[in-house]
Structure 1
Amino acid sequence: MAANSLLLLLLSLLISSFTTATSQTEQQILLQIKKDFNNPPSLSSWNTTSTSHCEWTGIQCTNGSVTGISLSDQNITYPIPHTICNLSNLAYLDLSWNYLPGSFPTSLYNCNNLQYLDISQNLFVGSIPSTINRLSNKLYHLSLSSNNFTGDIPSSIGQLSALQYLLLDNNLFNGTYPAELGNLLNLEHLWLASNPFLPSQIPAEFGSMSSLSFLWMASTNLHGSIPDTFGKLQNLVQLDLSMNSLSGRIPEGIWMLKKLERIYLYHNQLSGAISDTKVGAQGLTQVDLSMNNLTGSIPAGFGKLQNLTLLSLYYNQLSGEIPAEIGLLPSLTNLKLFSNKLTGVLPPELGKHSNLWNLEVDDNSLSGELPQFLCSRGNFTSLVVFNNNFTGKLPSSLATCNTLNNLMVQNNNFYGQMPAGLWSTAVNLTTVIMHHNSFSGTLPEELPSNLTRLEIQVNRFSGNIPSAAQKLAVFKASENLFNGTIPANLGSFSSLQILYLGGNKLSGEIPNSISSLRFLTQFNLSSNRLSGDIPANIGSLRVLNTLDLSDNQLTGSIPVSLGNMKLNILNLSSNDLSGEVPVQLQNQAYDYSFVSNPSLCSSNPQINIRICRGKSSGSVNLSTGLLILFIILGALFFIGAVVLGFFVLREYRKRKLNNDRKSWKMTSFHLGELNESNIAKGLTNENLIGSGGAGFVYKIVLGRRTGETIAVKRICNSRKMDSKLEKEFQAEVQILGSIRHANIVKLLCCISSPNSKLLVYEYMENGSLDAWLHSKRRTRGPLAVGGEPGQPETLDWPARLAIAVGAAKGLCYMHHGCSVPIVHRDVKASNILLDSEFNAKIADFGLARMLVKAGEPESVSVVAGSFGYMAPECGWSSKVNEKVDIFSFGVVLLELTTGREANHGDEHSCLADWAWKNFKEGGSLINLIDEKIRDPAYTDEIELVLRLGIICTGSVPEHRPSMKEVLQVLQRCERSFENRGSKSPEGGENDVAPLVGVKGGGGYGDDSCV
C-alpha cells in the first residue's frame, strides 16, 4: 500500500513538473509571437508579470495548455510568425480584421491540431498554393474572406475532407474554382461570392455535397443553367446565385427541397415559367427571383408557403392574375411584384392575416379597388401602386394606420376624399404622391409633422392651402381647385424646396414672407388670380432656379433684385406688369419670359416685347461713363485690399502653424517613414494645390532620394465652424483608418492639435475624374488630393470604363464588404481620384456615415451632398441609405458616357433629368453619347452603361440596383469588348445587352436635382 502511495506521489510530481515546464515554454512562445508582431499595444497584457499566460488577451487554454488564440481586430500589421505552430495543442486561430500582409501563410501547415482558422479581412495577396491540402486534416473551418487573393482556387482544397465551413468570398480570384469541391461531403457552408472568376458554369458535382446548407455564389460570373443535381441537396437551407448570367429554367427539384428557407436568384437571365405543382419547399421564408426573364403566371403554390415573409418577383415578364391564396399567407410581410404584366385585382384579403408592411405592385395593369385590410394588423408602412388602372377610394383602414410612412398611388383612377382621420393619424407619414387621379376634398390646416413630400397635382382638391408644414420639402398641388390666398406665414414651411401651386383659383398678393423659404429652388404660381406687386425680396432666394408667375394679374414693375438671381427658368408672361425689364434680364435666355405684358418694355430688341422710348443718347453715354469710372475705382480698391489681406493672412497662418507644431500628435494607419516634422515643413504656400470649405490641400515631397509624395488636407478650427469640422474630421478618420481597398484612397496617418487637423493621404498623380472629363486639369477642385496634368489629353472609352469599374469596386466594398456598411453621401466625379496609371479611387469621406445595421437608414441632421448628384430623397427625408450613393454614381456614369457635367443637362434640367427625358421620348441613345468617344467599336457598351446610369438615377430608391449589381454589369461590359469577336457559350456574340433595360413608367426622372 505504501509503495503504491509513493508511486502515485512521484507520478503526480512528474505530471506537475511537466505541466509547469510546458506552461513556461508556451509563455516564452507567446512572448516571441508578440515580439514578431512588433509588440502591438493591444497585447500589452502579454508580459511576465501576469500570473498565467492563460489569462492574457485572446488566449484560450484547456487544462493549462494553449488551445486557442483569438486576436481579431487588434491592429496587427506584421506577418503571422512561424513560431505560432510551436504551440502544439493549438486548435483555434482567429486573426481576422487586422492588417496582416504577404501571401498565404504556409507556415500554418505545421499546426498539426488546427481545427479552426480565420484570417479574413486582412491584406493577403497572391494565389492560394496548390499544397493547401497540407493543412491539418482536422480543419473544419477555413475563412479567407475579404482579402486580395487572386488566381485559381486549387483542386487540392477538395482533399480537406473534414471541412464544414469554406469561406472564400470577397477576394480577387480571377481564375476558376474546381469541381473537386464536390468531394467535400461534410461541407455545410460554401461562400464564393463577389469574386471576378472567369465565366463558367456551376459544376454538376456541387450537387454531391450532401451536407451543404448554405451556398453563396452571388456575383461570381456564372452562366449557363442551374444543374439539375441541385435537387439532391436535401440539407440546403439558403441558395444565393444572384447577380450572375444564369439562363434557362429553374430546376423543378429545387422547389421540392424540404429544408430550403431562402432562395435568391435575382438579377440573372432565367426564363420560362415556374411549375405551379412543384412548389413543395414548405419551409421557404424568402423568395427573390426579381430582375430575370420569367414568364407565365405567379404559381398558386406560393400561396401554400405558410412561413413565407418575402416574395420578390419584380422586373420580370409575369402575366395573369395574382393568386388570391397569397392574401391568406400568415407570415407575409413584404410583397414586391412591380414592373411585370400582371392583370386583375389584388388579393382581397391581403394584409388581413399577416403583419404586412410593404406592398409594391407599381407598373402593371392591375385594376379594381385596393384591399380593405392592408393595415388591419397595424404594421403597414409603404403602399406603392402607381401606374396601374386601380379605381375606387383608398381603403378606410388607412385612416387608423399610424405606421404608414410612404403612399405612392399616382397615375391611377382613384377618386373621393382621403380616408377620414388619415392626416392626423399617420404621424410617421413622410411621402404622399397621388398626382393624376380624381381625389377631392380639402387638406388640413396643418399637415403631418413628418411629411416631407406631398404631390397631389392634377386632382380635384379644393379649399385653402395648409398654413403649416415644418418638414415639407416638396409641395406640388398644381391643377386642382384650391382657392383663397397663399398663407401669409410661410415661415412654417422653412424646409420647402419645391412649391407648385399653378392652375388653381388662388387670389390676393404673394406674401412678403416668401423670403423665409431660403431653400426654395422651384416656385410656380402660374395660372391663378394673384394680384399686386412681385415682392422684391424674392431676389434674396439665392438657390432659386425656377420662377413661374405667369398668367396672373400681377402689377407694378419687375424687381431689380430678380436680375441678380441665377434662374434657369423665368416666366412672368400674361400679367399687367409695367416699366423696363431689369437690364440683367434683358438677354435671349429670357426672350419669351415677359410676353403679354402690354406695359413692359426693353432696351434690347431681341426680347419679345416693345422697345423702351424716350432715352437720349447723351444720357446713356453719361451714365455709361460714370459706370466705367466707378468700376475702375472699385477695382483698384479691391486689388489693394486683396494684396493687404494676403500679407496679413500669410503672417497669421505662419504664426498659427508654428504654434500648432508644438502640440501635434500623430496616429499612423499604414507602415511608412512619416513624422510630424517632415510633414509640417511642407505646409507652405508653394505646396498649396487646393482649398475649400474644409481647409487646404498640400502636395509634399518627403525626400529627394525616395521621391515619396503625399497629399495633406489641413482642417483649421474656427469658432463658427469648430463643431462641424470636428465631426467631418472624426468621420473621415474613423472610416478611412478602418477600411482597406485598392480602390479607396489610402489614409496614411492623421495628426491632431488643438487648432488644426491634418489628414495625410497617398498622392494621386492624375487628379480627379472631374478634371479630366470637363477640362479642369489646371484648376483642381478643393478636395482633389493631388493631381498633375498628363497624357492623354482626353480619356477614351476603355479608360473611362476602367475608371467606372474601379470606382464601383470601391463603393461595392463600402456597401457590401465592410462588417458595418458605409454610405459615402458625396459621390461625385471630383471625389473619384486617379493614380499614375489612371486607377480610380474613392476619396473624401467627410460626409460619410457608418450605418448601425445593414439595410436600416440612418438619420442625418442636415442635407449633405452636391448639386446635380444628390438623390431626390436627400431633399425631403432625414433617412438615407446606400441608395443615395447609387444615384450619385449613376450621375457619374452619365458624365462618363455623355461628357456633360452633373448639373448641365439642358437649359431646364440637370443631367439626370435630361437623360431620363431623352430616354422617355424614345429617341436614339447614341445621340446622347459624348462625341469624343463615339466609336462604332464601343457603341454597344457605351449605350449599355448609359442605360445603367439612367436606372441608377431613378427617383424611387427601392428601384435602384445595388452596388454589387452595378459592378457586375460594368465588369461584364468591360469583358465584352476585351473578348471582341468571340462567341458566348450560348452562341450569341454579345451577352451584355440584355442585362440593362429601363422599364417604362414614371419611376425615374422626377426632381432628380433636388
Structure 2
Amino acid sequence: MSYTCGYHQIFLCFCLLFCFSLPFPVKSDELHLLLNLKSALNKSTTGVLDSWGAADSICSFNGITCNDGGFVKEIELSNQKLTGVLPLDSICQLQSLQKLSLGFNSLYGPISEELNNCVKLEYLDLGNNLFAGSFPDISSLTQLKSLHLNNSGFSGVFLWKMLEKMTNLTALSLGDNPLIRSPFPNQILKLKKLSWLYLANCSIEGKIPPAIGGLTELVNLELEHNHLSGEIPMEISNLHKLWQLELYYNNLTGKLPVGLRNLTKLENFDASANNLEGDISEVGYLNNLVSLQLFKNRFNGEIPSELGEFRKLVNLSLYDNMLTGPLPQKLGSWSNFDYIDVSENLLTGPIPPNMCNKGTMRGVLMVQNRLTGEIPATYGNCTTLKRFRVNNNSLSGVVPAGIWGLPVVDIVDIAYNRFEGPITSDIKNAKEMGILSVGYNILSGELPEEISEATSLVKIELNDNQISGEIPHGIGELKRLNVLNFHNNLLSGSIPDSLCSGVSISDINMAGNSLSGKIPSCLGSLATLNSLNLSRNELSGKIPDSLSTLKLNLFDLSYNQLTGPIPQTLSIEAYNGSLVGNPGLCSSTVELRSFKPCRPDSGMSKDVRVLIVCLALGAMVLLASLGCFLYLKRTERRDGDRSLKEESWDLKSFHVLTFTEDEILDSIKQENLIGKGGSGNVYKVMLSNGVELAVKHIWNTESNGRRGQSSTAPILSKRAGKAKEFDAEVQTLSSIRHVNVVKLYCSITSEDSSLLVYEYLPNGSLWDRLHTSQKMELDWDTRYEIAVGAAKGLEYLHHGCGKPVIHRDVKSSNILLDEYLKPRISDFGLAKIVQANSGKDSTHVIAGTHGYIAPEYGYTYKVNEKSDVYSFGVVLMELVSGKRPIDPEYGENKDIVSWICSKIQSKESVLSIVDPRIPDGLKEGAVKVLRIGILCTTTLPALRPTMRSVVQMLEEAEPCRLVGIAVGKDSEQKKEHH
C-alpha cells in the first residue's frame, strides 16, 4: 500500500490548514460588539436594549436580525429615543451587516470614515439625529441601495462625487441639512435606479438639469426649499412613474412645462412660492391628484373645470395668484375633501356646494376674491370645519344658522360682504371658536345672550352692521376675550359691568351706537386695556376717575352726554379731541381751553357750601394724619429711605453667596433705582467687595405697591398674579446654568414683597443699544455675536434643561449685555416649564409683547418652543435692520415681519433692508442672518426651525458670502395660511 498523497489530496490538505489559520468571526465576537454598542448608547426610555444580555443569543436581541449562519445581518433601532456617540469601530466589525437603521433618535457627535468598513451595507439610515460636522466620504459602500441622511445635523460641504460608485442606489435622502451651497449635483443624474430622491432644504442652487428626465424610475422627487432658478425642464414629463413632485419655495420661473399632463400617476404636486406664470391647464389632466399646491405664484387664467371631476383630490391651495373665472362646482364632491384655499385671486361665481359631502372638510379659505351668491346650506352641517373664511367678496344672503355653531371651528370670518339676517343662538355650540369676524355686512337682529357660551372667543368683530338691542350681560364670561369691536351698529342700553371681569381684554370699541347710562368705573381695573373708544353714543354722568390709571394708546369719549369735571390726569392737551362733543364737561386746568372751567354750583346755599368745606377740610386733616402714620410705617417697604429689615425675610440661595441679606435690604432705596417695569422696580446694588448686583423688587399685593382699592377682589387677583410671576421666574432661573442666561443668585421673600438678586449687566439691553436716543453703535461683528449668544441661551432653555423651558417673552429688551457686550437672556416672569405629561402646552392669557408675539396667538392660545423661535426671529430682524418691531413706517396694522417680507423681491431690495450703519462690505453677511430670521417667523409653527437648528445656521453664516433670499416672499405656511 502506498502512503504517498496525490497532488489533489495535498492541495486539499493545504487549503484546509490555511483556512483554519485565518481569523474567522465567531458569534461570541459579535456578542461583544453588540454589547459595546449598547454601552455607547444611553439607555432609552423605550427599553429596546434591555433584552441585550451577555448570556442570550444575539439573534433574540430586540432590533437584531440574523442571517442563516446566525450572524448579524440587520440592526433596526430607529425611533427608539437613543442618545450617544456611534461606536462605528464596533458596528463595522459585524462582517455580515447589510442594514443599519438608526433614524429618529438623538445620536450626536461626528461620523468617522470608519463607516467605510461596513462594506456590505445595502441600507443606511442615520437621518433625524443630532450629528455634527461634515459627512465623510463613503465611496467604498458600493452596495448601498438606500442612503438616508436627512435632518441629521450634518453641515459643511457634501462630497457628491462619492455617489458615482453607488450605482445601485434606489433611495437617496439628504435634505434638511445646513450644507454649503452648491449647484445641482450631476452625479445624481447617473443613478438610473433611483426611485426616491429627497434633496429638500440642502442649499442646492442653479437650474434643474434637463437630464433629470433620464431618471425614469423616480417615484418621488423633492427639491423644495432650495435656491433653484430658471424654468421647470420639459424633460420632467418623462418621469411617468412619479407619485410626488415637490418644488415649492424656490425661484423657479416660466410656465408649467408642456407635457406635465403625462404624469398621470402623480398624486402630490407642489410648486408653490415660486415665480411661475401662465395658466394651469396642464394640471387638468392629472386626474389622480390628491393634493395640488400652487399658491404664491403669478398664475392666471381659469381653474380647469376638470378638477371638479377628480375623484381623489382632497387638498387644493391656489392662493395669492391672479386666477379668474369660477370654481368648478363639483369640486370635492367625490372624495374625503380636506381643505381649499383659493384666497387672493380674482375668482367669480358661487362657492361649490358639495365639498363637505363626506363630512371631512377642515378649511374653507376664499378670502379676497369676487365671489357671489349665498353660502351653501351644506356648510352649516359641516361639523369638521375648523376655519371658514370668505371675507372680502360680494357674497350675500342669510348665513346658514349652523355656521355660527360649528363645534370645532377656530375662525368664522365673513367680513366685507353683503350678508344679512341675525347671529343665531346656535353660537352656543361653538366651543372652540377663537375669532368671530363679521364686520362690514348688513347683519341685523339682537346679539344672542348665548354668545357667552362660546367660551374660547378671543376676538369679536361685529362692527359696521345693523345689530340692535342690548349688549348681552354675559359678555364678561368670555375670560379669553382680547378684542371687542361693536362700533357702528344700533346697540342700545348700558355697557354691562360684567365686561370688567375680562382678564386679558386689550381693545374695546363701541363707538357709533346708541348706548346710554354711565361709563362703568370698573373699566379702570382692566390692566391690559390698550384702546378704549366709546365715542358717538348717548353715555351720561361723570368720567370715572379710575380711567386715569389706564395707559391707553387710543382713548375716545367724544360726542356723548358726559357731565362734570374732567379727571385731572385726563386734563391734558392730547385728550382735547377725545372729549369734544360733551358740552356738560368742565376742566379745572388751562390745558383744555376748549372746555368751560369748573366752578361751584351757584344754586347751593352759602351755609351748605360752608358746611361742605368744613367737612372736606376735616376729612383732609384726618386723611393726612392717617397718611402720615401709614407713611412712617410702610414708606421703607415701598422703596423709601428706611431699611426693609423690619419685615421677616426668607432667603433661598442658588449659588455660593459673597453677600448678606442685610446688604441687599439696605440697598433698596430711591437713589439706587435704575429701572421700572410691569413686574417691579430694579435697583443696582454695590457690595462692599466691589461686586455689582441687580435686584428686582416685586410687590405681592398690587403692581407698584399701590394700596387703597375699594374692592378686595382686584387686590387678591393681582397678588396671585404677582406671586405666580415670581414663582415662575424663580422656578425657571434657579436651576439654569448657562453663560447666555442671566444668573440668579438668590431670592429673598416676605409677606408683602419679594426680591430677586441677579448678576448686574452694565451695558443695559439690546433694545437700548439699537433703538433709544442714547444708543451705542453696534458694529456688525458685535451684532452677529449677540445673535449667536442669545440663540445659544434659548437653545439651552429648549433643549438643555431637564424639561423644556418656554420663555414666552423673547424680545430685545430682555436680552441684556455684559461689559463685553455678551448677551444674557433675562426676565422669566412669563416662562413656563413644559411638563412631560401635559401634551401640548397652552395658556389662557396672551403672553408676550406686541410685535414679537407669534401669529398663532391670533386664533389659539397654544404655546410651545416655536413661539419663542418666532420672537427670536423678530430680534434677528431688529439686529439686521436696526428698526423697531412696530413702527408707523410699516403702515397700518403691519409689523417688521410683514414689512421685510414685502421688500423681498430682488437682491437690491433685500440689501436695502440692512441697517445703513452696517458697511456695504458686511451687508451680504447680514442678509444671511436676515434669511434665518425669515425662517424663524414662518406663519406655520411646524415649519419654523428649532433653536438648535437656528444656532447651527447662525454658526454656518459666513459674512463674506450672500445667501440669496430664495424664499422669495415671507415663508408662510403651506396650508390654511389665512
TM bucket, shorter chain: 0.7 to 0.9
Aligned to 1:9: none
Distance 1:202 1:445, change over 3 A: same
- Do the aligned partners of 1:338 and 1:362 also contact (CA within 8 Å) in 2? yes
Matched, 1:393 2:378: no
Aligned to 2:140: 159
Distance 1:473 1:746, change over 3 A: closer
1:583-732 correspondence runs (5 A): 583-607=568-592, 609-614=594-599, 635-641=631-637, 646-647=644-645, 651-653=649-651
1:279-294 correspondence runs (5 A): 279-294=261-276
Distance 1:42 1:434, change over 3 A: closer
* Residue type at the aligned position of 2:126: S
Match of 1:888 among 857, 871, 883: 871
- Do the aligned partners of 1:600 and 1:609 also contact (CA within 8 Å) in 2? no
Return the alpha-carbon distance in structure 1 between the equivalents of residues 849 and 227 of structure 2: 36
Return the alpha-carbon distance in structure 1 between the equivalents of residues 678 and 55 of structure 2: 54
Distance 1:927 1:641, change over 3 A: farther
Return the alpha-carbon distance in structure 1 between the equivalents of residues 339 and 356 of structure 2: 10
Aligned to 1:407: 388
Cα deviation for residue 444 of structure 1 reads: 1.3
Aligned to 1:476: 461
Return the alpha-carbon distance in structure 2 between the equivalents of residues 918 and 599 of structure 1: 48
Cα deviation for residue 726 of structure 1 reads: 14
- Do the aligned partners of 2:30 and 2:94 also contact (CA within 8 Å) in 1? no
* Residue type at the aligned position of 1:870: I
Distance 1:177 1:807, change over 3 A: farther
Match of 1:112 among 95, 99, 106: 95
SS at match of 1:440: strand
Aligned to 2:849: 867
Aligned to 1:442: 422
Distance 1:105 1:958, change over 3 A: closer
Aligned to 2:969: 996
Aligned residues: 874
Return the alpha-carbon distance in structure 2 between the equivalents of residues 943 and 694 of structure 1: 36
1:45-194 correspondence runs (5 A): 52=56, 54=58, 60=64, 67-68=71-72, 98-101=82-85, 105=88, 110-118=93-101, 121=105, 124-125=108-109, 128-129=112-113, 132-138=115-121, 140-141=123-124, 143=126, 146-151=129-134, 153-154=135-136, 156-169=137-150, 170-194=152-176
Return the alpha-carbon distance in structure 2 between the equivalents of residues 355 and 976 of structure 1: 48
Cα deviation for residue 478 of structure 1 reads: 1.1
Distance 1:64 1:622, change over 3 A: farther
Cα deviation for residue 383 of structure 1 reads: 1.0
Matched, 1:209 2:191: yes
* Residue type at the aligned position of 2:420: S
User: Which segment drifts farther, 327-336 or 971-980?
Assistant: 971-980
Aligned to 1:545: 530
Aligned to 2:750: none
Return the alpha-carbon distance in structure 1 between the equivalents of residues 877 and 299 of structure 2: 31
Return the alpha-carbon distance in structure 2 between the equivalents of residues 895 and 623 of structure 1: 57
Distance 1:304 1:101, change over 3 A: closer
Cα deviation for residue 33 of structure 1 reads: 7.2
Return the alpha-carbon distance in structure 1 between the equivalents of residues 544 and 434 of structure 2: 31
Aligned to 1:578: 563
CA deviations over 1:860-893 (Å, ceiling 9, x no partner): 3533531323335425425567774564344334
Aligned to 1:278: 260
SS at match of 1:891: helix
Cα deviation for residue 183 of structure 1 reads: 2.6
Aligned to 2:400: 419
Aligned to 1:666: none
Cα deviation for residue 497 of structure 1 reads: 1.5
Aligned to 1:319: 300
Matched, 1:487 2:472: yes
Distance 1:366 1:450, change over 3 A: same
Where structure 1 has 5 or more consecutive residues not aligned to the other structure, the ranges are: 1-20, 69-88, 658-677, 698-715, 748-760, 778-791, 981-989
Distance 1:445 1:117, change over 3 A: closer
Cα deviation for residue 217 of structure 1 reads: 1.7
1:185-584 correspondence runs (5 A): 185-306=167-288, 308-424=289-405, 426-445=406-425, 447=427, 448-467=430-449, 468-469=451-452, 470-584=455-569
Return the alpha-carbon distance in structure 1 between the equivalents of residues 379 and 466 of structure 2: 25
Cα deviation for residue 571 of structure 1 reads: 0.3
Distance 1:277 1:326, change over 3 A: same
TM-score, normalised to structure 1's length? 0.71
Return the alpha-carbon distance in structure 2 between the equivalents of residues 160 and 207 of structure 1: 19
Distance 1:190 1:450, change over 3 A: same
* Residue type at the aligned position of 1:396: A
CA deviations over 1:196-231 (Å, ceiling 9, x no partner): 333211122202212323222222211111122222
Return the alpha-carbon distance in structure 1 between the equivalents of residues 380 and 44 of structure 2: 60
Distance 1:488 1:911, change over 3 A: closer
Distance 1:376 1:317, change over 3 A: same
SS at match of 2:508: strand
Return the alpha-carbon distance in structure 2 between the equivalents of residues 841 and 260 of structure 1: 50
Cα deviation for residue 828 of structure 1 reads: 3.9
Distance 1:743 1:916, change over 3 A: farther
Aligned to 1:665: none
- Do the aligned partners of 1:67 and 1:90 also contact (CA within 8 Å) in 2? no
User: Which segment drifts farther, 220-229 or 271-280?
Assistant: 271-280
Return the alpha-carbon distance in structure 2 between the equivalents of residues 158 and 46 of structure 1: 35
- Do the aligned partners of 1:408 and 1:434 also contact (CA within 8 Å) in 2? yes
Distance 1:967 1:905, change over 3 A: farther
CA RMSD of aligned residues (A): 6.0
- Do the aligned partners of 2:409 and 2:433 also contact (CA within 8 Å) in 1? yes
Distance 1:687 1:122, change over 3 A: farther
- Do the aligned partners of 1:111 and 1:136 also contact (CA within 8 Å) in 2? no
Distance 1:943 1:864, change over 3 A: same
Return the alpha-carbon distance in structure 1 between the equivalents of residues 633 and 765 of structure 2: 36
SS at match of 2:116: helix
- Do the aligned partners of 1:796 and 1:932 also contact (CA within 8 Å) in 2? no
Return the alpha-carbon distance in structure 1 between the equivalents of residues 398 and 960 of structure 2: 59
* Residue type at the aligned position of 1:390: L
Question: Percent of aligned positions with the same letter in both sequences?
Answer: 31
Return the alpha-carbon distance in structure 1 between the equivalents of residues 331 and 118 of structure 2: 55
CA deviations over 1:411-449 (Å, ceiling 9, x no partner): 11111110244334x222221112111111111145233
Return the alpha-carbon distance in structure 2 between the equivalents of residues 908 and 296 of structure 1: 32
CA deviations over 1:119-175 (Å, ceiling 9, x no partner): 66556545754x753433445325265334324x55x42331111232333324212
SS at match of 1:597: coil
* Residue type at the aligned position of 2:254: G
* Residue type at the aligned position of 1:493: L
Cα deviation for residue 587 of structure 1 reads: 2.9
Aligned to 2:604: none
TM-score, normalised to structure 2's length? 0.74
1:805-816 correspondence runs (5 A): none
Return the alpha-carbon distance in structure 2 between the equivalents of residues 916 and 49 of structure 1: 58
SS at match of 2:194: coil
Return the alpha-carbon distance in structure 1 between the equivalents of residues 97 and 821 of structure 2: 43
